[in-house]
Structure 1
Amino acid sequence: MPSSTQLVNQDASWRQRSELESMADLPPALEKELQRLDAEFWVSSDKLKKIVSRFRGELERGLKEEGKSIPMNVSWVHSLPSGDEKGKILTVDLGGTNLRVCTVELHGSEPAKGEKYTLTQEEFKLPKDLKTSTAEKLWTHIAGKIGTFLSDQGLDKEYSKDKPMPLGFTFSYPATQDKIDHAVLQRWTKGFDIEGVEGHDAAAQLREQLEARDLPVKLICVINDTVGAMVASAYNDPETIIGTIFGTGCNAAYMAKIESIHKLDKANEQVKHNDSGHMAINCEYGAFDNGHHVLPRTKYDERIDKESPRPGQQTFEKMSAGLYLGEIFRLVLLELVEKGLIFQNQNAEKLKHPYSIDTKLLTQIEDDESPKFKKTRNMFEDTLNLQPEDYEIELSRRLAELIAVRGARLCACGVAAICSLEDIKKGHVAADGSVANKHPKFKKRWATALGEILDWDDEAKKEGKGPIIITSAEDGSGVGCAIIAAMELERRRKDKS
């Protein structure tokens, strides 16, 4: 048992780190629990550096050999865009929650009304049972929605089988690509577990269903949304160096030197005709530290992994990505309820339901500036049928902060490892995803952690002050996919001439 002096010292360090003003005193037993949680979730600068050292090693192994935890997938995107790309492209994005179909018209160096692209889109919520169904049901569903979109937009009249509309497919799951319009799924992530897709070419399966419906489209490329975010951002911002996703999942893409991709067959015609000397790599680093060597896992992380569809996989993602932060929060609250420390004499049955709290709730708790935190109280009542006291609101705010801070600091590790590997000293990291762009404090916390890892001075550690700056990514799954399709069509045109 820690002494009372130790507890006071722990409390002081916690208060120094916390960005929140205290609104209520916690009962001593609950204060002690919060100090324990602080110690478990805090990741120090020294620990971050150890994580990055291990991270870089796993990235290097993925570049050398196939089948590593971090696969470092070759995307066959040979360069960043010039900014002049033009064309009208159909894109489809299979996300973790929605299916999005878009028409993207690229205007290149001749913007229309000041915009470099025009986008029309429609989102279709994925049926819950589709995520654990079969390959045939998945691709039939997607092809059907593409057909609906083409009809709704009159594109089935504008294009034909003889003059098909170019189609780019954003497939944001770990996949091996032998060429840009081919993608063999390595493993499902984001809670998907659909039979008959792993080990198969997802592009071929989709193409088969498109042809069965006689749709006037031609699949040009399959991309990951992280590569798309990097390309879409570089279309407008030439200082873009890395594309990242901090949302339902976490991942990054960057332009690797061809010479560093040792597993790449240098005699391959696509490699020999690469004039840039670089290739976009989709890291898929949500699987970092699957061997549990360095990440500071808590019992809550271990439980989430054990009860997930794929235990032992995506270790890093399960500690830092948006799909899981709300679940970590729920598990801690549930433990405190079971200890009789919070929500006494209330029905906490809804709190027992896995994933009943999403990361959006954590974001709203930290962003709540309403009088007496009325919004937070309403959220607890609406989501969990609980009426929190002041001290329970205080606990929830501190806990939301602990979990979000850890997530942001861990997210900085992947980018730091890439910068170390490629000797990147400055540039813009284009970040997409709900956690990066909707959490009010993520970017500041991420920038601070990156500065600690890379030994920046105090001024540079502030958001927007360092040589490597996090920016909001352009639409990678829609616009980025369209740009890559346009680049690939131009490459094929040049090869024929």
Structure 2
Amino acid sequence: MARGLDISESIKQDKFENLSPELREKLIDIENQFNVTSDKLKEITRWFEKELREGLEKDGSNIAMNITWVLGLPSGSEIGEYVTIDLGGTNLRVCLVSLKGQREEIDIKQHSYRIPEEIKTGSARQLWDFIADSLDGFIKSHRLTENRNDRLPLGFCFSYPASQECIDHGILKTWTKGFDIDGVEGENAAAQLRDVLAERNLPLELVALVNDTTGAMIASAYKDPDTIIGAIFGTGCNAAYVENVGSIPKLKTDLPPNTPMAINCEYGAFDNAHRVLPRTKYDVTIDEDSPRPGEQAFEKMSAGLYLGELFRLIALDLHKSGLLFPGQDAAKLSESYSLDTGFLSALENDPLEASQTRLEESLGIKVTLDETRVARRLAEVIATRGARLCSCGVAAICQMKGISSGHVAADGTVANKHPKFKQRWTEALGEILDWPRDRKEDPIILTSAQDGSGIGAAVISAMTLYRIHSGNTVGVQG
């Protein structure tokens, strides 16, 4: 059965009674373009599972299915003090994480440093200098070197597609999330970080390079043994899960076949060939105008970095057609990425008058309540499609692994800050997996893994050091 939004139903309820017939017709057309039915979700998921399996079979596949060398989930008994850095799409987050065991609260001190725009398209040297400066300032402000002469273990959450020959190694395959920094792609990012740490004589020893999705899964599993998948629904989108080594044909190792290995899917690249995703002309524009056209097809349709831009492009299209904000100079609508996902969320969920004020302040024009209703509807349509698409990757993993219940630990601003994301995501997952409509509870539940990247990097660092101390150095010491 097809489900989704229905603008024509809203019109019947007189929510858009004052709109021109042309604008109402255009809204219905946009609704149809962005509506993803249950049947379409299932078709996307089947393709998704196919690409996941291909990634396990051989290198160079569309979905990378990166080996992480994180062997299984934590026991919950890992303890110690760790410095972590998280290089995300907007900020660099530096943390001091104190692990005290599963039953104790995790102590975390942190500071975020906004990444200057010029660094995102600058040079490797600029990037590593920025990270070193931030680490140096954090160490000094928290007096981390007082009363100790050893080097603090460092976990590096590097939230970009990287291949790993071992856990303290990572060759960047391609920048995502709008980054395009010279001198890092094809290089070992872990080694570049090590070099700048040594050059600055910072008292840190890089132990592990991890992806944010793996970090989210491990951070959640440290406290919650029902964790089955870690997912990121934020600036980008991705997931991690645990696979048996024997089910990874491309991995040549002496590890026993039943050894659990965390896999970082990197499935933001799903359907780069454009075989199944229902792209609109607005999605095509986002792709063509991005730093990397033809890459990260799935991410560009579902991730937080692009939702506000989708809204801007649609609103600009309607404005240029004379259907929205007629006669006004809406120059702000011509500024790429000037509207973010937070704007979209507030537009949809705030009281109508507050949304009207937000629109006027953001666009620098006068907006009627009817125009605000149109804008709110657009925000709803875009966010709903994003949430429904986000369910497909998790559904594909569950179908591939025969997973029928558990917790999906989600980190990222869209998952944690958009109040309707969880409901929409869960509904779509239930449609794909054919859950009973009259179920008393959901078999698979989306849980929060806030701070997953920082805490996860610390727990993985602890797991790695424990392995080294026990004499198991497979996948360690790059």
TM-score (norm 2): 0.95
Secondary structure in 2 matching 1:242: strand
In the superposition, relative to structure 1, how do residues 189 and 447 fare at CA in structure 2: closer, same or farther (>3 Å)? same
| Cα RMSD after superposing both structures | 1.9
- The equivalent position to 2:166 in structure 1, one of 166, 175, 179, is 179
User: In the alignment, is residue 445 of structure 1 matched against residue 424 of structure 2?
Assistant: yes
Question: Any conservation in 1 of the 2:287–2:300 contact (CA below 8 Å)?
Answer: yes
2:117 is aligned to 128
Secondary structure in 2 matching 1:104: strand
User: In the alignment, is residue 39 of structure 1 matched against residue 26 of structure 2?
Assistant: no
**Cα displacement (A) at 1:158:** 3.9
1:395 is aligned to 374
Deviations 1:71-114 (A, max 9, x none): 00011110111111100000011111111111000010452xxx
Letter in 2 for 1:304: I
Question: Any conservation in 2 of the 1:343–1:388 contact (CA below 8 Å)?
Answer: yes
Deviations 1:420-443 (A, max 9, x none): 111101000111111111111110
Q: Distance in 2 between matches of 1:351 and 1:158?
A: 55
User: In the alignment, is residue 63 of structure 1 matched against residue 56 of structure 2?
Assistant: yes
Q: Distance in 2 between matches of 1:155 and 1:431?
A: 31
- The equivalent position to 2:443 in structure 1, one of 441, 444, 467, is 467
Deviations 1:256-278 (A, max 9, x none): 121111101133xxx35x8x621
2:471 is aligned to 495
- The equivalent position to 1:309 in structure 2, one of 291, 305, 308, is 291
Q: Distance in 1 between matches of 2:9 and 2:429?
A: 20
Q: Distance in 1 between matches of 2:293 and 2:73?
A: 36
**Cα displacement (A) at 1:383:** 1.3
Letter in 2 for 1:342: L
Residue correspondence of structure 1 range 104-123 to structure 2 within 5 A: 104-109=97-102, 111=104, 115=105, 117-123=106-112
Question: Any conservation in 2 of the 1:232–1:474 contact (CA below 8 Å)?
Answer: no
Q: Distance in 1 between matches of 2:450 and 2:221?
A: 9
User: In the alignment, is residue 484 of structure 1 matched against residue 460 of structure 2?
Assistant: yes
2:350 is aligned to 368
Letter in 1 for 2:39: D
User: In the alignment, is residue 280 of structure 1 matched against residue 262 of structure 2?
Assistant: yes
In the superposition, relative to structure 1, how do residues 291 and 109 fare at CA in structure 2: closer, same or farther (>3 Å)? closer
Question: Any conservation in 2 of the 1:230–1:480 contact (CA below 8 Å)?
Answer: yes
- The equivalent position to 2:331 in structure 1, one of 349, 357, 361, is 349
Secondary structure in 2 matching 1:36: helix
In the superposition, relative to structure 1, how do residues 301 and 109 fare at CA in structure 2: closer, same or farther (>3 Å)? closer
In the superposition, relative to structure 1, how do residues 89 and 358 fare at CA in structure 2: closer, same or farther (>3 Å)? same
1:140 is aligned to 129
Q: Distance in 2 between matches of 1:192 and 1:186?
A: 12
Letter in 2 for 1:133: G
Deviations 1:328-349 (A, max 9, x none): 0000000001110111121111
1:289 is aligned to 271
Secondary structure in 1 matching 2:127: helix
User: In the alignment, is residue 151 of structure 1 matched against residue 140 of structure 2?
Assistant: yes
Q: Distance in 2 between matches of 1:475 and 1:484?
A: 14
1:425 is aligned to 404
- The equivalent position to 1:194 in structure 2, one of 181, 187, 201, is 181
User: In the alignment, is residue 258 of structure 1 matched against residue 234 of structure 2?
Assistant: no
Q: Distance in 2 between matches of 1:496 and 1:36?
A: 59
- The equivalent position to 1:91 in structure 2, one of 84, 87, 90, is 84
Deviations 1:160-181 (A, max 9, x none): 3xx1100000000000000000
Q: Distance in 1 between matches of 2:472 and 2:363?
A: 61
Letter in 2 for 1:251: N
**Cα displacement (A) at 1:16:** 5.1
Structure 1 vs Structure 2: percent identity of aligned residues? 53
**Cα displacement (A) at 1:17:** 8.6
Q: Distance in 1 between matches of 2:269 and 2:102?
A: 39
Letter in 1 for 2:120: K
Q: Distance in 1 between matches of 2:339 and 2:15?
A: 24
**Cα displacement (A) at 1:34:** 0.5
Question: Any conservation in 2 of the 1:159–1:216 contact (CA below 8 Å)?
Answer: no
Secondary structure in 1 matching 2:471: helix
Secondary structure in 2 matching 1:252: strand
**Cα displacement (A) at 1:159:** 3.8
Secondary structure in 1 matching 2:180: coil
1:336 is aligned to 318
**Cα displacement (A) at 1:488:** 0.5
Structure 1 unaligned blocks of 5 or more? 1-10
Deviations 1:288-307 (A, max 9, x none): 00000000000000000000
Question: Any conservation in 2 of the 1:24–1:390 contact (CA below 8 Å)?
Answer: no
In the superposition, relative to structure 1, how do residues 24 and 153 fare at CA in structure 2: closer, same or farther (>3 Å)? farther
- Higher alpha-carbon deviation: 257-266 or 59-68: 257-266
Q: Distance in 2 between matches of 1:229 and 1:256?
A: 16
Structure 2 unaligned blocks of 5 or more? 474-478
Letter in 1 for 2:192: Q
- The equivalent position to 2:385 in structure 1, one of 384, 389, 406, is 406
> Paired residues, what number?
470
Secondary structure in 2 matching 1:208: helix
- The equivalent position to 1:224 in structure 2, one of 200, 207, 211, is 211
Runs of 4+ deviating beyond 6 Å: none
